[in-house]
Each structure stands twice: as structure tokens, then as C-alpha cells.
Amino acid sequence: MSGAGGRGCGSPVPQRAPWSLVAATAAFCLVSATSVWTAGAEPMSREEKQKLGNQVLEMFDHAYGNYMEHAYPADELMPLTCRGRVRGQEPSRGDVDDALGKFSLTLIDSLDTLVVLNKTKEFEDAVRKVLRDVNLDNDVVVSVFETNIRVLGGLLGGHSLAIMLKEKGEYMQWYNDELLQMAKQLGYKLLPAFNTTSGLPYPRINLKFGIRKPEARTGTETDTCTACAGTLILEFAALSRFTGATIFEEYARKALDFLWEKRQRSSNLVGVTINIHTGDWVRKDSGVGAGIDSYYEYLLKAYVLLGDDSFLERFNTHYDAIMRYISQPPLLLDVHIHKPMLNARTWMDALLAFFPGLQVLKGDIRPAIETHEMLYQVIKKHNFLPEAFTTDFRVHWAQHPLRPEFAESTYFLYKATGDPYYLEVGKTLIENLNKYARVPCGFAAMKDVRTGSHEDRMDSFFLAEMFKYLYLLFADKEDIIFDIEDYIFTTEAHLLPLWLSTTNQSISKKNTTSEYTELDDSNFDWTCPNTQILFPNDPLYAQSIREPLKNVVDKSCPRGIIRVEESFRSGAKPPLRARDFMATNPEHLEILKKMGVSLIHLKDGRVQLVQHAIQAASSIDAEDGLRFMQEMIELSSQQQKEQQLPPRAVQIVSHPFFGRVVLTAGPAQFGLDLSKHKETRGFVASSKPYNGCSELTNPEAVMGKIALIQRGQCMFAEKARNIQNAGAIGGIVIDDNEGSSSDTAPLFQMAGDGKDTDDIKIPMLFLFSKEGSIILDAIREYEEVEVLLSDKAKDRDPEMENEEQSSPENDSQNQSAEQVSSSSQEVDSVDQESSEENSLNSPPESLSPADMDNAASISPSEQTSNPTENHETTNLNGECTDLDNQLQEQSETEEDSNPNVSWGKKVQPIDSILADWNEDIEAFEMMEKDEL
Ligand code: DMJ
């Protein structure tokens, strides 16, 4: 082999392509590290590892079995409602639905997992089903990126293992490259997306009609994410090499070449979003998470798979930049590509959890251990990695769609270090999945890691990736029927054989740029990492790196923030931070002035902050001003979030749910406050009349129970009074708007009726129609349905199952009809945590959280600075003008015109304004669009 192997990663020369070991276990030179390890965490016995492996198998059966039984041939399982998600038949979730092409996505994404998990018979059946049932010619617009990594990757992974099995002589003897033919058909369907002058693909394509034709309903997009355009080479090259049709590899290479050309030349970083026609960076922030992640992954892995040096050179150049600017161990923080010393945000997204695994593959173990440890502590705090969390480890975006990236990194770190600590980490992941995400019909994504509430969603990557990495973590060589080290994992964990490096390589060098940066760092030599450097004869190496980070999450002192301050250690005064700013402090006002920020008192009492970079005393002051404005925007948006009442949970605790189904509920501004150590448990009963707008005619049915009432026709408070008078101990209002769901509509608080509502003592929660129908269906099926109303789901099984078993139904009904004051430690500690969080982030007197609630809106019409002026004078790039923003104190927002509903405590209008004007706030939404 001429590529990586040809470079000779030390000696002796392995039997097969040297990188074969790299593929499965990270840099093959690291494998020997396993034997170096002798102490640290207690080793795990073979029995225990087998037990955990079997648990993973059982979990996979639960997920896959329910998909096949209740969802197939739909793309995905909806585990709460136990049916298939068919695009067009469910309310649109926006771009996340672009992964669904009516091609039995989960089945295809699961193919090679079946083989890894030793389910050869099931694999054989699954392949037959794919060949019999899957249609790739649907009139549906799909994401090119998702279709490539999940479907093309899934078919190729399936083909790779099918031919391996066939060769072994027992299974798949009938197989005749049918999956490969399907992959090729799909590959040709994706090609029209590349019809741009840049060679970067359109982000979406119609499977039947391609691009731009009127019936295609796509082709008008101008932007794509870097990962979307840069995560094709493994699948496309594999397709070319398997089939001999070189066009796929050529197109993927061309897109990569273009991205490389467009890197920001002084920082060597790439932005998150790029214009596919002009090649201009649309979003100039740069990190290793959402929107960019797998672009880096594919450069390194393309080198491994294809043996083309140019990919390694590019990867190393980017890696150097990442470690210089983005890596602030243990954090990885986004920066601006033109001003890489400037952090672009103060939070991290969950997708970056793959990066430690990639660092292992690169051979840079120390920062991998550090970041992984930080992430693990965040997980220990919230049970899962929230979609985004701040540099001081608070939840920024509370969702968790069962992402596999952390399990992936855990697996690679275990392979590299042999430290049983990582087995314990894997065990925790398994426990948390079973405890918090497992529902009777599969595993449900977490809607909010703080409340433990679920979303009716089980993404296909959960089966493609999570179970592979968890199973492999505990498996010994003999537990797997083939040599995993002969394959490389794609970003969706599909397996491609390393022998492709020597097959059909006619286009390897075509179309690649010849200009590379020379690097003097010895890490970038054409050699593998030296195990002596990675593990300096210290069996406690990994542990010694983790040790100082033991409490990094609890006692957070993020380096991202220190870094800014460090740069002023020289004696210069540190710049003013938004969190310290006091509008009454003359010194602060003076600093604002220097930074080109003016404070304008409007006639209506509002205050605006406006930055004109051109008015700053120097370009450094202008930069400080820019950062101050960004911080102020972020601070205020964070505080608005904290002001919102967090969602509540309705947990179904009776048989057969036993607390496993947790529904996201909206709180009420009146009645019992469930966040104050109270939870209410009781059986549910529908009120008559169902709208609860008059005295109930069935008080005997709702007495001592939680009444279900339909939304509409009168005030929420009136409904509450009527059910309370009938003796209900709580109420759940179910939306009358059919099909509504918390997946697609923002939660809100039920407002009072403008009068004194102190007389309402019972707790009231709101459920959208889809969540409500889960309870209504349960009543139809099981009659007696008991629920728990709380601010955070209570731990489920075995506790609830025991409760159920030990108390006869009547008893339990009486017992549960009480309002119980929770003394559980979990609730206490949550409260403590949130009060700490508030105090941590409370801004000084003059900008109290309440003020900030009103303060942080940005008035676009007040942009007065001239972008060109800014650019010339301050030597800042165009972003500077984006941040020529104004912060204005907004007068008390009127209650929603409908007094019955108040949207998130006056937060909604501010959010909308911020969303229009704050790039950082939009970032996550963009990320969802582009890639998630
Ligand atoms: C997967 O589909 C892939 O790993 C992708 O690269 C990014 N993330 C999802 C799972 O989180």
C-alpha cells in the first residue's frame, strides 16, 4: 500500500496494511499502549465485560425489535407513540426531517451493526428486506449529507460485511453485490447536487427529480455547512473503488479541494457555513463541533483509507490551528476565523464529543483525555450530554437526541489506553440509557435533560453508532466474528474495508491542489505517534491527566475566560466584561466610550448600547468593544432563558409504563408550584364537560384524581377552579389543537385570568395534543393510568415497578392521591444547583436579571455605522459590522393579547428580536439546519 502504510509507522511492518489497526483502534502504534497499562482503575473482569456486552445486545434488540415491529418500513421509530415516522404524515420538525427519504432509513443504518453484534441471521434477513422493499426513487427532498452518511454509508457498510461473510462460506452465499448496486444507484442520484461552479454540493436534493427542475422543489439554496460539503470522500471513494466508476471519488475530492482553497489563510481555519456559488464564508465562526466536525474527521480518515498524503497534510495544518486557537483544554471553544484569538461564543455543542476519538486516531492523547473527562463530568451532572452547555457547564440547550459521539470517544480512548476507567464510563452510559431513555417501545430522545422528559424520536444513528461503540467497548477479539481492525469507521460508524486503498486507485492524485503548508512540528512527520511520548512509562498516565480535572465541572473556572484575562497580565487593565458592567459606574462609562460603545437614553425610558468601531480609541479598544457587545448579547439571552419557567414533566407511572414515559408539560402561573419541592401523583380522569368550563357533572369520577380537561372556551384559571371544586388534586389541560406537539411548538405558561388566583391550590400542567393523546390512549388501553406531575421526572424502575407490585391498586390509588412533599435528594440538589447558577450569573445591581430581561433587545434600525468605515479604520473584517449592534432596554412588554396565554414570561418577543440579530443565538438553529 502506498499511503499511510507506505510511510512505515515504525517497525516491524505488519502483515496487512498497517493502517488496518488504525481504523479500529486509533493509531496502531497506540495499541501497544494497552499492554503498558498496569494500574489505575480496578480492572474489569471478563465476566463483567461479557455481562455488559450482553446488556448492550439486549438493548439493541429492544430498539431494533420495536422499530421492525412497529415502524418498519417507515424511516424511524416514534418510541412514545410506538409507530413509524413517515415524512409528511407528522407535523414537520423542519430540517431535521431532511434525513427521512422514505427509504427505511433505520433499517439501512442498522445493517452493519447487526454483523458487529453477531446477529448474522438477522443481518441476512435485513439485507433481503432492503432489497425487496427499499425504493430510492421517491419524490422527496433529502439532505445530501445525511443521505450520504446514513444511507450510502449504510449500504456500503452492509455490502462490505456481506462480502466478508460470503467469503467465510456460511452466510450470504446468495449475495451478488445487490447492496452495492443500490449504493451506486443512490450515488448517481446524489451527483446532480454537485452541479455548482465551486463543486460544493447543494445541501438538498430531490431523490426523484434531482435539482432545480420545477418539480424538484430544491436548488435555490446558496449556502451549505462545511461538514455537509466535506463529509463525502469516504463513502464516495469507497463507491468508486468498489465499482470502478471514478466519478464519485472525483466529485468528493473536488469539493474537498475547494474547501481547502477557501480556508482562512492566516488562521488555517474554516468557517461553519459557505456560499456554494461564490465560496465566501457565510458564517465565520469556527470550532470542531456542529457544522464542521466531520470535515476534519474525513481528512484524516481519507488519508487512512486512501493513503493520499495530501489529506494528511491538510488535516495536520487544520489540527495545528485547532490546537492553537480552539483547544483550550479541557474546553474546545469556537473562535472567529479572521480573529482566532477571539472566542465566538461561550458555549460548546454536544457534537464536539467525537473530537477526543479523532485525537486518539491522530495520536494526541493528552488533550483527548482532558476533553473526554470534562464531557464525562457534564454527563454525570445531567445524565446525558445536553445539546449545548456553557463554559461554566450550565445547560445551554437541554435536548439530547441519544447522540453517540461520547460513546465513540470512550471506545477509542479505551483502545488507546487500556484504562478500565473507560469501561466504567461505558457502564454509566448503559445505565443512564436504560434508566432515563428506555421506554416500552424503544429508546426515546431526551427533550430536556433537566426534567428527564422525552421526545417521540429515536434517530437512526442511535442504532448505527451507539450500539456498535458500546458493544465493541466491552468485546474481546473473539466476541466479534471478523477482524474489526481491517475496517475504518465512517462518521456514521459504517465499516469500510481498508483494502480499498489498493483498489481502483486511478484517480488518487487527480485534481488535488499541490500547495501545502510546511510544518516544522515533529508531530507532523510522516510517522505514527511514539508510544514512549504518549505513555511515558507511567501506568497511571491517563489517570494522572484526569486527576486535576476531577472537579472541573463543579468548581468551574473555565479557561476560556481566564485566557482573555491572562493576556492582560502584563499590567494593562483587563477589558471590561459585560457581566461586570454597571450603567451607573462613571469609570465603566468611560471604558465604553473608549471602546466606541455609546449609551443612549431613549425618551421612552429605554437605553440602547451602540458600538461604532470607528469611534473606538484604537483597534484594540474596538476589538474589546466588539467582544463586550457580544458578551452583553449572550449574557442577556442567557438571563432571559433563566427567567423562563423551565418545563414540567408528566410521568406515567402505572403499569406498563412504570415511569418510563415522561411528557413535556407547560407550567401555570397559578396553583401549586411544582418546582418548590412538591410533586403530585394520582390517577387521571376526564372531566365532564371535557372543557372544564362549568361546574363538573362527574365530581365522583375526578375526586382525588388528576383531572384531564381540554383547552379552550374559557380561561385556564376557570378550568382549574371547576376541577378543584369537584375535588381534583391536579389538572392537565390538553391542547385542543389537533396534532400540536412540544416537538414543533414552543411551550408556554398558562396565565391566570387577571384576577387573584391565590384560591387555586392544585397544580396545573399543560400538554400539547400529541403528548395528551399518549395519556388518552393509555386510558383507553389500561383504564387505570397513574401519573406524576413534577418539575423533574422521578427515577423510574425498579422503584416504581416495586411500588406497583407492593401496593394493591386501591391502596395505591388512595395513597397516590396525596400531594407529596418530595424530600428526595435529587430534587433538593437540583434546586440548590439552580440557585447557585443564578447567583453565579447574576449581573451587578444596575443590571439585575430582571433588568436584563428587558434590556437585551437589539434595534436593527439604529445601525448607524458605516461598514466600510469600520473595516478601514479598525482593520476588522466584515463581522465587525454585524456586531455594530445596539442593546436596548425594552419597556415592560404587554401581556399577550390573549390574557389566557402568556408566552414564556414576556420573553418571546425579545427572543425573536435577538434571533434576528444575534449570530450566536442563531448558531444552534443553523447547526440543526445544516447538519444535526
Ligand atoms: C451522526 O449522524 C454522525 O456522526 C454525524 O457526523 C454527526 N452526528 C450524528 C449523530 O449525532
Per residue in 872-922, pLDDT (tens digit) is 222 222 222 222 333 333 332 222 333 332 222 223 333 433 343 344 444
pLDDT in tens, 404-459: 999 999 999 999 999 999 999 999 999 999 999 999 999 999 999 999 999 999 99
**Ligand 1 centre distance from Cα of residue 932 (Å):** 7
pLDDT in tens, 706-740: 999 999 888 899 999 999 999 999 999 999 888 88
Query: Which one-letter amino acid corresponds to residue 15?
Result: Q
Region for residue 63 given its phi and psi (left: phi exceeds 0; alpha: psi -120 to 50; beta: otherwise)? alpha
Residue nearest to ligand 1 atom 7, measured at CA: 932
DSSP secondary structure letter of residue 857: B
What percent of the chain stands above pLDDT 90?
58
The span from the CA of 200 to the CA of 715, in Å, is 54
**Of all atoms in ligand 1, which is nearest to the CA of residue 231?**
6
- The half-sphere exposure of 918 on its side-chain side, counting CA atoms within 13 A, is 28
Cell digits of residue 772: 395528551
Bridge partners, 388 (sequence order)? 349, 397
* Phi and psi angles of residue 442, each rounded to the nearest 5 degrees, phi first: 125, -150
Query: What is the reported pLDDT for 382?
Result: 95
State which of 75, 113, 149, 296 you would mutate to test the pocket of ligand 1, scoring each by most atoms of that ligand within 8 A of its C-beta.
149
Query: What is the reported pLDDT for 832?
Result: 31
- In order, the DSSP letters of 537-567 are S-TTHHHHHHGGGTTTTTT---HHHHHHHHT
Catalytic annotation on 621?
A: no
The span from the CA of 918 to the CA of 887, in Å, is 11
Catalytic annotation on 405?
A: yes
State which of 145, 403, 409, 459 you would mutate to test the pocket of ligand 1, scoring each by most atoms of that ligand within 8 A of its C-beta.
403
Of 60-64, 179-183, 268-272, 505-509, the least confident: 505-509
Among 98, 74, 221, residue whose Cα is nearest residue 150:
98
- The half-sphere exposure of 462 on its side-chain side, counting CA atoms within 13 A, is 28
Q: Catalytic: which of 109, 146, 249, 313?
A: 146
**Ligand 1 centre distance from Cα of residue 490 (Å):** 10
The span from the CA of 561 to the CA of 308, in Å, is 39
Average pLDDT over residues 655-677: 88
On average, the pLDDT of the chain sits at: 79
Bridge partners, 648 (sequence order)? 665
**Ligand 1 centre distance from Cα of residue 293 (Å):** 9
Q: pLDDT band at residue 375, thresholds of 50, 70 and 90?
A: very high
Q: pLDDT band at residue 518, thresholds of 50, 70 and 90?
A: very low
pLDDT in tens, 156-199: 999 999 999 999 999 999 999 999 999 999 999 999 999 999 99
The span from the CA of 389 to the CA of 398, in Å, is 8
Q: Does any ligand 1 atom lie closer than 6 A to the CB of residue 623?
A: no
**Ligand 1 centre distance from Cα of residue 436 (Å):** 21
Q: Does any ligand 1 atom lie closer than 6 A to the CB of residue 145?
A: no
What percent of the chain stands above pLDDT 70?
73
Query: What is the reported pLDDT for 585?
Result: 77
- In order, the DSSP letters of 911-925 are HHHHHHH-HHHHHHH
Model confidence at 744: pLDDT above 80:
no
The SS3 assignment for 264 reads: strand
Q: Does any ligand 1 atom lie closer than 6 A to the CB of residue 224?
A: no
* Phi and psi angles of residue 821, each rounded to the nearest 5 degrees, phi first: -85, 115
**Ligand 1 centre distance from Cα of residue 234 (Å):** 15
Catalytic annotation on 836?
A: no
Catalytic annotation on 387?
A: yes
Query: What is the reported pLDDT for 611?
Result: 73
Query: pTM for the complete prediction?
Result: 0.67
Q: Does any ligand 1 atom lie closer than 6 A to the CB of residue 294?
A: yes
The span from the CA of 148 to the CA of 204, in Å, is 11
Q: Does any ligand 1 atom lie closer than 6 A to the CB of residue 608?
A: no
DSSP secondary structure letter of residue 152: I
State which of 225, 234, 491, 927 you would mutate to test the pocket of ligand 1, scoring each by most atoms of that ligand within 8 A of its C-beta.
491
CB 706 within 8 Å of CB 680: yes
**Of all atoms in ligand 1, which is nearest to the CA of residue 405?**
11
pLDDT in tens, 322-355: 999 999 989 999 999 999 998 999 999 999 999 9
Residue nearest to ligand 1 atom 6, measured at CA: 491
**Ligand 1 centre distance from Cα of residue 568 (Å):** 39
Query: Which one-letter amino acid corresponds to residue 246?
Result: T
Q: Catalytic: which of 293, 419, 743, 879?
A: 293
Q: Catalytic: which of 387, 634, 804, 853?
A: 387
Residue nearest to ligand 1 atom 8, measured at CA: 932
Average pLDDT over residues 738-748: 81
Residue nearest to ligand 1 atom 1, measured at CA: 492
